[in-house]
Chains A and B, each alone.
Chain A
Amino acid sequence: MTIIECSGLARRFRLNWALRDCDLAIPAGHVVALVGPNGAGKTTLLNLAAGLLRPTAGRLTVLGGERPGSAAARARIGFVAQDAPLYGHLPAGDMLRVARNLSVRWDDQRARDRLARTGVPLDRKVSKLSGGQRAQLALTIALAKLPDVLILDEPVAALDPLARHDLMGSLMAAVAQDELSVVFSSHVVSELERIADYLVVLNAGRLQLAGEVEALIAGHRILTGAGGEMSLGSQRAAVVHASTAAAQAHLLVRMPAGDQVPRGWQSQPATLEDLVLGYLRDPAARMLPGQAPATAGEVAVPA
């Protein structure tokens, strides 16, 4: 089952295209990281999937064919929007009751246990909670409705490192406990490799990269070699991004796992961070499942 499937999805706000030509088929059972710079269209895509926005063009279905925003989709998707919107003037316990009364399914015991474990006081007003506590409360509310998919828009963006670790840890525990798929967006890349097993890279409203993390990492290398007019020979390697200095060049190349490293170059596995940054720096580079990959770079390395 695909949890989010779109073809040609596009969304325009007045004159500005926030998202264009989006073709995705995100499978269930993964922790999906949606990555891109600010303004890339991540929030737009997630809001479309949650049913808060309607597409300007293209098709979008969630949970294997449901219309986003339909009653079935609402019941099975847990959504935490950016900045975890909650009713600020209510105490946390009443906020929980409100959420319970708005939900179709609800596990109250689990919600209360979780709040107790994460140290969120039930009698304090939501507006007086710390950022980490609010995020935990919002996550608890989303989890308590027993969703099949959890969609989180930049859940850790405003949190301090400890709160960030705690939130991600408890999110992973929830994933381990239920058969939950998670889609979360982030503009911080450095800690993604431990958490995500499916990656989607958005840049300026267009998709650049989508696929399982393991496959992506296996299919790319960092080649280090001398700068100057060196070519990769007749290798079937496509350069995604080259960073060159006078005497040395680092190339992020797309190379099938079994291929031999060209002579004169040293190969290192690419990390997720290398991948994301490399693709973001070359917006024309693309590698999407089911499509011919594209690169901006040439095979020969400029001096």
Chain B
Amino acid sequence: MVIDKQTDDARKAGGSPIAFRLEPGSGVPTYLQLVHQAEQALRLGYLSEGDRLPTVKEAVESLAINPNTVLKAYRELEHRGLAVGRPGQGTFIAGTLRRVGVAEQAALRESLLGWLRSADRAGLDEDGMAALFAASLQDFRQLRDRDVRRHGGDKQDRRGSGRASTRPTTEGAA
């Protein structure tokens, strides 16, 4: 996954600091790719609070995708508390990703190693483990999407990929 980082000049000129790219063969729905790219940009520091995400028009022109896809991605970012839309101005970064604490990370790593050991005992080789993990991640994403679709704008996420405590805002993406 590659993120294009635009120059400071572009940022000063009012353009968005990032530009999106697509990976068409990845099997991940387009809107989710955009969400993940925004999150990754936030994680890596390309985006900070107050920065503007690309306008819908900019994004669809460079990617040749349906504007609703970008809208959906921005709505998802709003639900995760990472962005807020201002009508007529654009969608702006409003929150930060909660960093998973060091202790939590260590615990997660331990449990993953445990799973890998069981898989090894069951006779799965490394490629098989990777394939099984990828398939389960896919299932996990679908289940989460389905929950998001079913429960609309409710905040019911207990898994927490990092949310600020904002309520969902209007769909003011320009």
Contacts and interface: CB of A to CB of B under 8 A. Distances in A.
B22 interface: yes
B67 interface: yes
Nearest to B60: A172
Number of chain A interface residues as a range: 10 to 19
B57 A197 contact: no
Q: Is the contact region of chain A dominated by helix, strand, or loop, or is it mixed? A: helix
A270 to B, nearest CB: 12
A177 B62 contact: no
A164 to B, nearest CB: 8
A169 interface: yes
B64 A176 contact: no
Contact of B30 (A175, A177, A194): A194
A269 B143 CA distance: 13
Given A168-B64, A169-B64, A175-B67, A194 B57 contact: no
Contacts of B67: 172, 175-176
B24 interface: yes
Contacts of B70: 176
Contact of A195 (B57, B65, B142): B65
A36 to B, nearest CB: 20
B44 to A, nearest CB: 25
A200 interface: no
Interface in A168-209: 168-170, 172-173, 175-177, 191, 193-197
Interface centre among B64, B65, B68, B142 (most CB of A within 10 A): B64
Contact of A194 (B56, B61, B62, B69): B69
B66 A195 contact: yes
B68 A194 contact: no
Contacts of A249: none
A236 interface: no
A197 B68 contact: yes
Interface of B: 22, 24, 30, 56-57, 60-70, 142, 146
Interface of A: 31, 165, 168-170, 172-173, 175-177, 191, 193-197, 257, 269
Given A170-B61, A173-B60, A176-B56, 15 more contacts: A169-B62, A169-B64, A172-B61, A172-B64, A173-B57, A173-B61, A175-B60, A176-B70, A194-B24, A194-B64, A194-B66, A194-B69, A195-B64, A197-B66, A269-B142
